[in-house]
Amino acid sequence: MDTVLLRESATLTDLKRGYLESDEAFTCLCCGERIEKGVIYPVGDRLYEARRYIRHHIAAAHGSVFAYLVGLDKWAHGLSDLQRRLLTLFYEGRSDEEIKSVLGAGSLSTIRNHRYILREKERQARVFLAIMELLHERQTGDAGAPGRARTGKGPVGAGKERRTRSRGGVGEEQILAKYFPHGPEGPLQHFGGSTPAKHKRIIAAAVAQRFVPGRRYSEKEVNAILEPIAEDYVLLRRCLVDFGYLRRLPDGSQYWRSDIDEERMNPVDRRKELKRLAREAKTEGGVFQIRNTQNGMVWIGVTPNFRSLNGQRFQLEMGSHKSRALQQAWNEFGPDAFVFEPLETLEEPETGYFDRDGALQKLKQKWLRKLQPFGTRGYNLPSELGEEQQ
């Protein structure tokens, strides 16, 4: 099942522990792994009942619930890259002095100011959650009209833009003329990181019209549409997502235009739509390697979902990867020196119980024996050979 749907149905307690519980099973919020109750799960020479096994699975496959949640895209939590990095360092128990050293910039007062801003964000989030809970309670008996309190249509902020256009459309037309000298269907000019946010939003609204409502696009298809429009098409794609004109699955495998119908979709229909997307997006896991292109050394790892490899990159960027040798090399050579490559996909049976974690570890052992990524050849430890888990 797609993790977007899982997170939308999760309570705060569920999100913190990393799994959903039903009468029959536990379901991992990070990858959708389903752990049946009443089954004993073998891991090496140990046996786990379902509740303990789901916790083992989360630790073994995802590191921690914190690492998974903070590694999600910005649209999921609203945190900037700097805030995510700071929160990771706070989570690791680093002192302000250590954080200043890791960041290589700022001062102790700057770090303390960031702590204050994050605590303020937490206080605001609590109030906002209370407001939304009261809103949902108010609408519980409102005859299938959830969301009626919101009268605007389209992406958040779109109503404000329409009011701006009605009062002074010339200003917006001038902005579009500046960036689209050959017309709205032509390429962008003078567009980049220094472009004002207000202008980016107007540009994103115009570019969104080139996507067909209701159609699903792969990231490759999105890039093919945006590349002729802007040299920095990655920034343009980010603007479309950040301003709500394009929606996407967390792994970036599917994008679609956000339109009026979706914004007014009731929760039941939205859940059905997310389930449909989940069926279309097949999850595949297996063995992968992180390869240093400068010296050929590799680190072998496993994942229940290849689309979650961004989590490995995020851990390395935050300086918190479980392989100290790989982390040291990443710090020395830099991110551009490394590539992430799947080696073998895990084949899973259609029905019946399947020990995915055990199968993944067997695959890992196979590739450790084959590539011998130890010492001068790689960043794994020889002690990993023969172990059922890291």
What is the per-residue pLDDT for 4?
66
Tens place of pLDDT per residue across the chain (390 aa): 456 666 777 888 899 999 999 888 898 888 888 888 888 888 878 889 999 999 998 888 888 899 888 888 777 788 888 888 889 888 888 888 888 888 776 678 888 888 888 888 888 888 888 888 888 777 765 444 444 444 444 444 444 444 444 344 447 888 888 899 888 788 898 888 788 888 888 999 999 999 988 888 998 899 999 999 998 898 899 889 888 888 887 667 788 887 644 444 455 555 555 555 555 555 678 999 999 999 999 999 998 888 777 778 878 887 878 899 999 999 999 988 999 999 999 887 766 677 888 888 899 999 999 999 999 999 999 988 865 443
At 356 the pLDDT is 80
Look at residues 181, 246, 259 and name the one whose alpha carbon lies nearest to residue 213: 259
Q: What pLDDT sits at residue 272?
A: 58
What is the C-alpha separation between 372 and 357, in angstroms, rounded?
Answer: 21
Domains and CATH numbers, the chain: 3-70 (no CATH), 158-265 (1.10.10), 286-384 (3.40.1440.10)
Q: CB of 341 within 8 A of CB of 289?
A: yes
Three-state SS string over the chain comes to: CCHHHHHHCCCHHHHHHCEEECCCEEEECCCCCEEECCCCEEECCEEECHHHHHHHHHHHHHCCHHHHHHCCCHHHHCCCHHHHHHHHHHHCCCCHHHHHHHHCCCCHHHHHHHHHHHHHHHHHHHHHHHHHHHHHHHHCCCCCCCCCCCCCCCCCCHHHHHHHHHHHHHHHHHHHHHHCCCCCCCCCCCCCCCCCHHHHHHHHHHHHCCCCCCCEECHHHHHHHHCCCCCCHHHHHHHHHHCCCEEECCCCCCEEECCHHHHCCCHHHHHHHHHHHHHHCCCCCEEEEEEECCCCCEEEEEECCHHHCHHHHHHHHCCCCCCHHHHHHHHHHCHHHEEEEEEEECCCCCCCCCCHHHHHHHHHHHHHHHHCCCCCCECCCHHHCCCCCC
Distance CA 88, CA 226 (A): 33
Alpha-carbon distances of 290 from 101, 285, 325, 347, 383, rounded to whole Å? 27, 15, 12, 21, 19
Instruction: Look at residue 147 in the predicted model and tell me its pLDDT.
Output: 41
Residue 159's pLDDT is 45
Structural contact between residues 15 and 3, judged by C-beta atoms closer than 8 angstroms: no
Q: Note the pLDDT of residue 167.
A: 42
Smallest CA-to-CA distance from 286 within 340, 341, 345 is with: 345
Residues 6 or more apart in contact with residue 172 via CB below 8 angstroms? 161, 164, 165, 202
